[in-house]
């Protein structure tokens, strides 16, 4: 763990942080730029935060990159997002391997174009042996569909218990979710990691995602470290 005042005082650091990366379109609109420019700047913000998470010693970070509802967006915007996804994998994969980042996909990524599926599966294979943090990226993801799928898979194997459902979730194997961050001033989970969020702390900021910095990310972790978590107890 890199030096961090709150953590140095012996307060609890999060193991697993999830981020709803919101506000790319509004960032572009405020500057009278195409939405594609907002998404492009959002990718750079993602890159900086992923690096910061590694420096801060997180075990896992989950990013809401593309929901199952995002297919409803205009075709040209979806195409831009797919192009950015391709570019991000190609440009950052070597860095992931070098730093021991283990990639995990949350969602039905096989619904994407075949070349994207190939890129993702190549990245999964090349990072599988990583001994550093896990980067879980939600792609074509919806929490309600995840829960329905997990419950059905659990029922096919035996009694439907909490443990059986958790074993079938896309997030199986990740540490319990400690903190969810959402940017852009919205105060909702938007069908993201609903099961996993049961006792997660929530942290909201008005900052639009392209403007979200490692410093603000660190501030969120510091605030988390000062919270008292009772998990339903007194």
Active site residues: 22, 70
- Residue count of the chain: 234
- Letter string b/e over residues 173-204, b meaning 16 or more CB atoms within 10 A of that residue's CB: ebeebbbbbbbbeeeebebbbebbbeebbebb
- Letter string b/e over residues 118-155, b meaning 16 or more CB atoms within 10 A of that residue's CB: ebbeebeeebeebebbbbbbbbbbbbeebeeebeeebe
Q: What phi and psi values does residue 205 have, to the nearest 5 degrees?
A: -140, 150
Q: Are 7 and 13 in contact (CB under 8 A)?
A: yes
- As to burial, measured by CB atoms within 10 angstroms (0-12 exposed, 13-18 middle, 19+ buried), residue 14 is buried
User: 108 vs 78, 115, 165, 189, 225, CA distance in Å?
Assistant: 16, 15, 17, 19, 33
Query: What CA–CA distance (Å, rounded) separates 220 from 203?
Result: 7
What is the H or E stretch that residue 103 is in?
strand 102-106
Tokens of 160: 């439907």
């Amino acid at each position: 763990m890199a030096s961090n005042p709150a953590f140095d005082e012996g307060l609890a650091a999060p193991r697993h942080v999830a981020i709803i990366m919101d506000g790319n379109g509004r960032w572009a609109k405020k500057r009278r730029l195409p939405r594609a420019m907002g998404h492009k700047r959002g990718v750079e913000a993602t890159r900086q935060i992923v690096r910061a998470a590694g420096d801060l010693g997180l075990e896992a970070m989950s990013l809401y990159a593309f929901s199952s509802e995002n297919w409803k967006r205009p075709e040209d915007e979806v195409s831009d997002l797919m192009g950015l996804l391709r570019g991000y994998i190609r440009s950052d994969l070597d860095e992931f391997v070098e730093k021991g980042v283990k990639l995990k996909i949350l969602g039905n990524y096989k619904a994407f174009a075949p070349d994207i599926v190939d890129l993702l599966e190549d990245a999964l294979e090349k990072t599988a042996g990583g001994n550093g943090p896990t980067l879980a990226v939600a792609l074509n993801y919806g929490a309600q569909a995840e829960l329905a799928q997990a419950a059905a898979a659990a029922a096919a194997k035996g009694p439907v218990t909490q443990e059986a459902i958790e074993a079938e979730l896309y997030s199986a194997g990740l540490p319990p979710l400690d903190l969810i961050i959402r940017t852009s001033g919205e105060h909702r989970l938007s069908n993201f990691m609903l099961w996993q969020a049961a006792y997660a702390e929530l942290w909201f900021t008005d900052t639009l995602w392209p403007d979200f910095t490692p410093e603000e990310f660190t501030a969120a972790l510091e605030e988390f470290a000062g919270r008292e978590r009772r998990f339903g107890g007194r």
